A and B are shown apart, each in its own frame.
Chain A
Amino acid sequence: GAVVSQHPSRVICKSGTSVKIECRSLDFQATTMFWYRQFPKKSLMLMATSNEGSKATYEQGVEKDKFLINHASLTLSTLTVTSAHPEDSSFYICSARGSGRRAITDTQYFGPGTRLTVL
């Protein structure tokens, strides 16, 4: 089936630095990508939706200047956490929806997630 990868799987950074997380669709074209955040023992919360070549749509309460999303190609989206602080520590998960031989239309395929720890 369709595969989505994320890099890095874990990252530890100092407070005030910026961190970039990559999300790639490996064997299909992702016309839409989603970024989620998961707190311990909580459900996944949608942060933003991005369509290739256009600006991301952020959910209410998500700071777009804090969480920069770029969806520059049909196989890559990036999430940059700018000026990270300890409260940004979380598990970030991306998903992709698209078309191709290996992707079922209207189905979201999820990456394995990135654990961010801000010291």
Chain B
Amino acid sequence: GDSVTQMEGPVTLSEEAFLTINCTYTATGYPSLFWYVQYPGEGLQLLLKATKADDKGSNKGFEATYRKETTSFHLEKGSVQVSDSAVYFCALVPRSYNTDKLIFGTGTRLQVFP
């Protein structure tokens, strides 16, 4: 079935370091891909999304490119801040569904230290 695989965390970085969180997916057809972020004590928030191959989603300095050939949607940021510390979830909505059923990865905790 459709699934999302994320790198296990926690990812621990110093402020201003480069961030990559890997995400790969398995799905029939061409799913829509998402990154959600969950700050401590808050609900998940949509960070960025891409709906077709080669699309690049970007927001708040984060980027991810929909790579069909490698079935990947890796999250990157050039210079992380302490305020980026959160749990990041990669997710997809399969094209085969008529509803927007989100399928999530397990989440990756990011810890940024000053």
Contact = CB atoms under 8 A, between A and B. Distances in A.
A47 to B, nearest CB: 11
A44 B89 CA distance: 9
A108 B43 contact: no
Interface residues of B, number: 18
A97 interface: yes
Interface residues of A, number: 20
Nearest to A97: B100
A41 to B, nearest CB: 7
Contacts, number: 40
Query: Main secondary structure on chain B at its contact with chain A?
Result: loop
Contact of B106 (A43, A108, A109, A112): A43
B106 A42 contact: yes
B42 A43 contact: no
A43 B107 contact: yes
A106 B100 contact: yes
B41 interface: yes
B106 A41 contact: yes
B43 A111 contact: yes
B43 A49 contact: no
A33 interface: no
B43 A44 contact: no
B4 interface: yes
A43 B43 contact: no
Nearest to B3: A43
Interface of A: 4, 6, 34, 41-44, 46, 49, 93, 95, 97, 106-113
8 contacts: A42-B106, A49-B101, A95-B43, A106-B100, A108-B46, A108-B100, A109-B43, A110-B44
Interface of B: 4, 36, 41-46, 89, 99-107
Given A6-B43, A46-B103, 10 more contacts: A4-B43, A44-B44, A44-B102, A46-B101, A49-B99, A49-B101, A95-B43, A110-B36, A110-B43, A112-B43
